[in-house]
Chain A
Amino acid sequence: MSKRPLTFEQLEHRLEEYLDPVLSTRRTAEAPAQALSIFSRGQQDFVLHWISVIVRTNSEMGYQFASQAPDALRLMDLHGVEKWIIQFMDVYDKQGLYPGCANVQAVEQFAADLHLREFVLNFEDVVSVLEHYVHGLAGRALKLQPNEIVYTDTEHLYLPRRLRLFRTRQKNFGLYKAMASHLWAQTWFGTFRVPEGLVSLVNVCGSYADPERATRLFHALETARLNACIERGLPGLYREMMALQSEQAEIRYATNWTDAVHRLQAPDATVRDTIRALQHLYADEGHLPPPFCFQGRLMLESAEAAIRARQDREKHAFHENLRLMDHKLEANAAGPARASIPPRLQATWPPSQDGLHDPQIEWTLDGRPVTPPEEIRALSRSILQDFGEIPDEYLVAAGDGAYQLVPGSDQPAPSVWERAYHEEGAWLYNEWDFRRQHYRKDWCVLREIELHPSEERYVDEVLSRYRGLISGLRRTFEALRGEDRILKKQIHGDDIDLDAVVEAYADMHVGLEMSERLFTKHRNLERDMAVIFMVDMSGSTKGWINDAEREALVLLCEALEILGDRYAIYGFSGMTRKRCELYRIKRFDEHYADPVKRRIAAIRPQDYTRMGVIIRHLSGLLADVEARTKLLITLSDGKPDDYDGYRGEYGIEDTRQALIEAKHQGIFPFCITIDTEAHDYLPRMYGAVNYVLIDEVRKLPLKVSDIYRHLTT
């Protein structure tokens, strides 16, 4: 039985009760009460209930809601209205009164979007799945970025911020996937590989009267070729893409296109055939086939710019690596010195059938088969992806000194030392110069600095934000500590080890001495582990990386306190060799108490990262600690980098040398990084399995404790 609606007077009375603090002579409850009086009792009760809830948070928000509620009820059902309330209260909580009110007033917009919500898909919803997906396919690890225009520059795939072309989320996801796959296909099946004899694709299209039309035509033809490549290699994906397309429009090529398209669909078709077809079809004034819904735009300029930049970088890196490899081979060869002609590396690879695998390259150096280091192999994969071959000029190593590092990078500018400290009371450390293959003596000046504690209640905030996670963390780490195992064959213990007794009895029988290890003991885990966390505080960590680092440390401390491992935390930064700074956050002998928590809160980005000297210093600290296992874990966001030329190969080699020294002292170094290019240099510094790359900053806090657990069990 439904109750009768409240009358205007009743409503006005109730509203006045709730909204009293924000009402005045000019602002009364009359209008909202009037507007609400026409609704059913159920709707009225709903609104009154929510007003009573909202005014407890903020009266003004309550008033705004009361004024907009009648509109909302007209536009949405109660379920939708509730979503709207939750949404604007959320905005109020996070951003304050003004944006909150604006959101209340935007009720119409909300209602209009509401039915879209069911199938709109945002970039953030799909980015991590799609990124894994694209990395899985093949080739260079492409980054996904939201953007207005859908295209690729061969390093990033730019995808729309949101998709709502189709009426279901599933299909919109399919469209995201199809777009990412098409762009990936451009980078993998050689859309940007300029055929021999041509300078650039921009020039090719620019040579036509209407370059833009030529580019569109080129893209349409390439899409036909790429679709065929996808059909051959990834038939399931092809079916999906075509099904999506057929819901939009069937794409048919005009009769004068059929021949060209047919040729482009052949397995051996390349971009050269596309260019040829372009010449052919440009003259025809006929129509262009409509674009596929997933094809986006072709931005030849930005792709070619990115390729040129990468080409320079990789060519240089390739030569440097080749030279290093040659040095090593020469050092290993006991025979007479080779003639002074530069060595020549040769690469051969079998043609790949469907072009989905990285080819297995066979390498020979001056006719002898060799296995080049991983750096060269990784570079060659990228080069092969850009050019479809490894051009000859890459394969000849430069003689000594033929390659200059970037001019100026080697000369420390005297001016940067002006701010430097005097060296009194500081530690001096050597630095490895790989070019000389010798240390520079007492080259770096390092100081330990007490980090000034911050006043914030930062740690408590983080703890409350991750409440759920921390209880899970506690469980896992407690299980690790408790690892309730019974140790057998102990001299002392709480129970008799029957197996041992039987064995001992048997031993005694044959006249052997009876073992005294006859007891079992509950394991009282002595993990006997000491770990230093070395936290990157360079300027590049500014913003959310810094936040993620601090959050990660808070969670880690929680975990480590449970485990009982000894640990210390140091932050590092500095500028030039004369001012290397190590910030004490927690020493080994310090408890995890308020000062430490406040120092974690105070971690702020500083200057540069000179890693070698820091590693040497911390290795020294670790060496002084008695522990069976010693770990040095770096949290970092990039390569070593300092103002006075400590970058590129020099920085990497010095860091590597410092890590090797640490290993000699029985320390196990490990690196957790968020630099997506880390695969290029971290294996050289830390070894292939001694680092972890976390591809999303937001995952860092969640992952670090997990990695630590993994690492130490």
Chain B
Amino acid sequence: MDPQAFKTAEHFVKEQPYYEPQGAEIALFEAAYANQIPVLLKGPTGCGKTRFMEHMAWRLRRPLITVSCHDDLTASDLVGRYLIIGGETRWVDGPLAHAVRIGGVCYLDEIVEARKDTTVVIHPLADDRRVLPMEKTGELLQAPPEFCLGISYNPGYQSVLKDLKQSTRQRFVAIEFDYPPPELERTIVTNESSLHQDVAEKLVKYARMTRNLKGSGLDEGASTRLLVHAAKLIVAGIDPGIACRGAVSEALSDDPEMLSAMNELSASLF
């Protein structure tokens, strides 16, 4: 088996990922890319951050390597390690090192979930030095101009332990994402699920209603992703009320009173 876990060809985004721009984010990203500045995507869950990254990788024709960060992710998981194969040792690049080598786009999703020390590894890569020090091999990997670093972060978390340090965030161009305006969101839902416009419009209204409840009982309103789920269920022949319940309200809350309020709202629309 080839221990080289990453095959460059597989990381090219071959088909255009569907993405509807909300504002100037594409131009902003391209300008940042041209100037070799890393990018920070902020926004609530399910509003299109990851999709945007895929779309940009496709636009820029660069391979995309996405790492979903978790609380056991260490620096060497990103940079790489030695493995023993048949009595020989061989160095294997981690996803970040690989992306640097091939001049790809490396996207660290939900960066605050990773161990605190991981963010420090990306610091020299994220400022004008653009280098990745690889302690074990003694290499100092210089990123080519094509390389691009993107991280994402959800500022809505109310946890003291999950905040991005200033030293990290001040290295990035920040692009703020939010749920798209109603007409656009309707278009997105229709495109993703081929649901009829009128029904999609009602779904969008429903999402707005749940977002009105944010802060007074709900931690987060329905994301565009949840809407697409509901839309797909409806296209598959599920009754809209049941689809909203399964895909949206039950996903948002466990509180019985909140659930019945949300179900009343969806019943009002359909």
A234-B269, A235-B270, A357-B205 given as contacts; is B81 within 8 A of A136 (CB)?
A: no
Contact, CB under 8 Å: B269 / A679: no
Contact, CB under 8 Å: B205 / A129: no
- The interface bits of chain B over 70-101 (1 if a CB of A lies within 8 angstroms of the residue's CB, else 0) are 00101010000111100011010000000000
The chain B residue with its CB closest to the CB of A668 is B160
Contact, CB under 8 Å: A135 / B268: no
The chain B residue with its CB closest to the CB of A507 is B82
Contact, CB under 8 Å: B83 / A237: no
Contact, CB under 8 Å: B216 / A693: yes
Segment with Cβ contacts to B, from A191-199, A391-399, A413-421, A498-506:
A498-506
Task: Tell yes or no: A236 within 8 A of B by CB.
Answer: yes
Main SS class of interface, B = mixed
- The interface bits of chain B over 135-162 (1 if a CB of A lies within 8 angstroms of the residue's CB, else 0) are 0100000000000000000011111110
- Given A133-B264, A135-B213, A137-B265, list of 8 further CB < 8 A pairs? A128-B261, A136-B261, A138-B209, A360-B181, A629-B160, A670-B160, A679-B215, A712-B160
A503-B82, A509-B82 given as contacts; is B161 within 8 A of A129 (CB)?
A: no
Residues of B within 8 A of A130 (CB): 261
Task: Tell yes or no: B237 within 8 A of A by CB.
Answer: no
Contact, CB under 8 Å: B155 / A132: no
- The interface bits of chain A over 690-712 (1 if a CB of B lies within 8 angstroms of the residue's CB, else 0) are 10110100000000000000111
Smallest distance from the beta carbon of B13 to chain A beta carbons, Å? Answer: 31
| Residue of B81, B136, B181, B268 contacting most chain A CB atoms (<10 Å) | B268
Smallest distance from the beta carbon of B119 to chain A beta carbons, Å? Answer: 16
Task: Tell yes or no: A181 within 8 A of B by CB.
Answer: yes
The chain A residue with its CB closest to the CB of B219 is A710
What 7 pairs between A and B have smallest CB-CB spacing? Answer: A132-B261, A237-B268, A506-B82, A136-B209, A509-B89, A234-B268, A133-B261
- List 30 interface pairs A-B (beta carbons < 8 Å), by A numbering: A128-B257, A132-B216, A132-B217, A135-B216, A135-B217, A136-B213, A137-B209, A138-B209, A141-B216, A177-B264, A235-B270, A236-B267, A236-B269, A240-B267, A356-B208, A357-B205, A357-B208, A360-B181, A506-B82, A506-B83, A506-B84, A668-B160, A670-B160, A689-B157, A693-B216, A695-B217, A710-B158, A711-B158, A712-B159, A713-B161
Contact, CB under 8 Å: B136 / A237: no
Smallest distance from the beta carbon of B220 to chain A beta carbons, Å? Answer: 11
Task: Tell yes or no: B260 within 8 A of A by CB.
Answer: yes
* CB-contact partner of B81 in A177, A503, A695, under 8 A: A503
CA distance A208 to B89 in the complex (A): 97
The chain B residue with its CB closest to the CB of A511 is B89
Which residues of A (484-499) have their CB < 8 Å from a CB of B? 488-489
CA distance A512 to B76 in the complex (A): 15
The chain A residue with its CB closest to the CB of B206 is A136
Contact, CB under 8 Å: A236 / B81: no
Task: Tell yes or no: B106 within 8 A of A by CB.
Answer: no
| Residue of A128, A131, A629 contacting most chain B CB atoms (<10 Å) | A128
Show the binding face of B for A, using Cβ within 8 Å: 72, 74, 76, 81-84, 88-89, 91, 136, 155-161, 181-182, 205, 208-210, 212-213, 215-217, 257-258, 260-262, 264-270
Residues of A within 8 A of B268 (CB): 137, 181, 234, 236-237, 240
* CB-contact partner of A129 in B210, B264, B270, under 8 A: B264
Smallest distance from the beta carbon of B230 to chain A beta carbons, Å? Answer: 15
The chain A residue with its CB closest to the CB of B217 is A132
Smallest distance from the beta carbon of B106 to chain A beta carbons, Å? Answer: 22
CA distance A282 to B210 in the complex (A): 42
Residues of B within 8 A of A670 (CB): 158, 160
CA distance A689 to B83 in the complex (A): 44
Residues of A within 8 A of B136 (CB): 507, 512
- The interface bits of chain A over 627-667 (1 if a CB of B lies within 8 angstroms of the residue's CB, else 0) are 00101000000000000000000000000000000000000
* CB-contact partner of B205 in A356, A668, A693, under 8 A: A356
A132-B261, A133-B261 given as contacts; is B205 within 8 A of A629 (CB)?
A: no
* CB-contact partner of A689 in B81, B158, B182, B213, under 8 A: B158
| Residue of A181, A360, A689, A695 contacting most chain B CB atoms (<10 Å) | A689
Residues of A within 8 A of B161 (CB): 629, 712-713
* CB-contact partner of B155 in A135, A689, A693, under 8 A: A689
Which residues of A (300-343) have their CB < 8 Å from a CB of B? none
Residues of B within 8 A of A356 (CB): 205, 208
Interface size class of A (residues with CB under 8 A): 35 or more
Smallest distance from the beta carbon of A260 to chain B beta carbons, Å? Answer: 27
A689-B157, A693-B216 given as contacts; is B89 within 8 A of A506 (CB)?
A: yes
CA distance A360 to B84 in the complex (A): 59
Residues of B within 8 A of A713 (CB): 159, 161
Contact, CB under 8 Å: B160 / A235: no
A137-B265, A181-B268, A692-B158 given as contacts; is B84 within 8 A of A502 (CB)?
A: yes
Task: Tell yes or no: A510 within 8 A of B by CB.
Answer: yes
Contact, CB under 8 Å: A137 / B212: yes
The chain A residue with its CB closest to the CB of B240 is A236
The chain A residue with its CB closest to the CB of B163 is A668
CA distance A136 to B210 in the complex (A): 6
CA distance A330 to B39 in the complex (A): 29
- The interface bits of chain A over 111-145 (1 if a CB of B lies within 8 angstroms of the residue's CB, else 0) are 00000000000000000111111011110010000
CA distance A690 to B269 in the complex (A): 33
Residues of A within 8 A of B267 (CB): 236-237, 240
Residues of B within 8 A of A692 (CB): 158, 215
- The interface bits of chain A over 514-543 (1 if a CB of B lies within 8 angstroms of the residue's CB, else 0) are 000000000000000000000000000000
CA distance A710 to B220 in the complex (A): 14
Residues of A within 8 A of B216 (CB): 132, 135, 141, 693, 695
A235-B270, A357-B182 given as contacts; is B156 within 8 A of A689 (CB)?
A: yes
Contact, CB under 8 Å: A506 / B81: yes
Which residues of A (132-186) have their CB < 8 Å from a CB of B? 132-133, 135-138, 141, 177, 181
Residues of B within 8 A of A128 (CB): 257, 261
Contact, CB under 8 Å: A136 / B269: no
Residues of A within 8 A of B84 (CB): 502, 505-506, 509
* CB-contact partner of B262 in A132, A138, A235, A629, under 8 A: A132
Residues of A within 8 A of B181 (CB): 360
Smallest distance from the beta carbon of B96 to chain A beta carbons, Å? Answer: 17
Smallest distance from the beta carbon of B82 to chain A beta carbons, Å? Answer: 4
CA distance A488 to B268 in the complex (A): 53
Smallest distance from the beta carbon of A431 to chain B beta carbons, Å? Answer: 27
The chain B residue with its CB closest to the CB of A631 is B160
CA distance A138 to B88 in the complex (A): 66
- The interface bits of chain A over 220-241 (1 if a CB of B lies within 8 angstroms of the residue's CB, else 0) are 0000000000000111110010
